[in-house]
Amino acid sequence: MKVLYSFNKEGQEAQTWMRELAAASTARIELIPFNHAPYLDPNRYIRAQLLDNLYFAEDARLLRLYRDLTEQLRVHAPDVLLVDTCPPYHPEFLRTLSIYKVLRTSDGPLTAYDRDFAYVHAYDHILYHSPAYSRDLTMADKLAYCGARRCDFWPMWLFDGAYDARRSEADLHLHERPVDVVFVGAFHIGKMADLAAIKRHFGRRCTMHGLISPKKNAYFNLRHRFPGWIRPIRWDEYVPLYQRSKIGFNVHNRGKFTVGNYRLFELPANGVMQVSDGGEYLGHFFEPGREIVAAETAAAMIERIEYFLTHAEERRAIAMQGFRAVLQRHRFAHRVQQLADILEAAVRR
């Protein structure tokens, strides 16, 4: 089976996706990477209505993307078109493509009405990254309610480039970790109160980096009394930082209803003990208490982090169980095999 995988990434991250998608092909499934990011700024179609406006206006860059995708489909003759991360394809354009079309949702309920549910009718199959959605429905329930013809749980993963495969379990267990607490991620407004509370408590013991604009940085400091200015780090700086850190914490927008980001897998792969929200859904990824530590509030995270900073052997034991779990169950190679299982059954139908 051949899958043309259309995604949206930039810089070093885009290089990693291109390289690892191409390298992940097996005898069962061939992945053909296609990065749709360079064609036009995704902020111009970040919501379905914005994409509809571009399509109506016959935007030249959008139409060039559609021509190039059509040519890729002609050249490679794939069985499946899989679209990931901020879909740029208008339903009326997709309607002209005689191929099995799959949409992968990856941002949960915060963006579902902006760029997921509006497109459900245009795809044959929806893959969702987390079983959680709201207090009332799971994501599978919600997608079925929206009319999805077929949907499956397909979690995020660990890319080989997101950890150092040369380091053994023993190396990770024994080498020095001078950073007590770490967080690297997007500083969404919904997370800011918790992030600020944890940083204020741990001060210099907590290292934070992430995606944040100067305007949001100012807001973060003024609104939440955050003690410092957040700066981004490069993609290739993640692994060295994680491998110097003892504990990493994971905060999701809307808590357990968006659990399942890439950080969930990257922290344990680098020997970091992870404290995360996620509630009852956390168990879909790791075993709480053995491979990961569960905490639903900032206060609970602070309490658990303080405990494990002073109980080194317990911390290392959980970190090592998390490390084994992610390498045994959550590498991209595992996801590709799962994808083959899902799509082979679907396409046969």
111-169 residue pLDDT tens? 899 999 999 999 999 999 999 999 999 999 999 999 999 999 999 999 999 999 888 88
- Residues 145 and 170 grouped into a single domain: no
Same domain, residue pair 227 and 247: yes
Three-class DSSP category at 207: strand
- Whether 323 and 191 map to the same domain: the answer is yes
- CA neighbor of 238 nearest in space, from 9, 21, 10, 13: 13
What is the domain-level CATH number for residue 317? Answer: 3.40.50.2000
Cβ atoms of 101 and 346 within 8 Å: the answer is: no
Kindly provide the b/e burial profile for residues 65-83, where b requires at least 16 CB atoms within 10 angstroms of the residue's own CB. bbeebeebbeeeebbbbbb
Check residue 175 and give its pLDDT.
80
Distance CA 258, CA 97 (A): 32
Q: What is the CATH number of the domain that holds 81?
A: 3.40.50
Residues of the chain with pLDDT under 70: none
- Can you tell me whether residue 81 is helix, strand or coil? strand
User: Do 274 and 144 share a domain, yes or no?
Assistant: no
d(CA 9, CA 6): 10
Where in the chain does DSSP place strands (E)? Answer: 2-7, 30-35, 80-83, 100-105, 125-128, 151-153, 179-186, 206-211, 245-250, 273-276, 293-294
Residues 118 and 66 grouped into a single domain = yes
Domain of residue 141: give its range.
2-157+331-348
pLDDT of residue 226: 75
**Based on the domain organization, do 274 and 254 belong to the same domain?**
yes
Tell me the DSSP string of 280-349: GGGGGTS-BTTTBEE--SHHHHHHHHHHHHS-HHHHHHHHHHHHHHHHHH-BHHHHHHHHHHHHHHHHH-
User: What is the C-alpha separation between 189 and 264, in angstroms, rounded?
Assistant: 20
Q: Answer yes or no: do 179 and 322 share one domain.
A: yes
Beta bridge partners of 275: 249, 293
Domain total in the chain: 2
Tokens representing 120 are: 């459900």
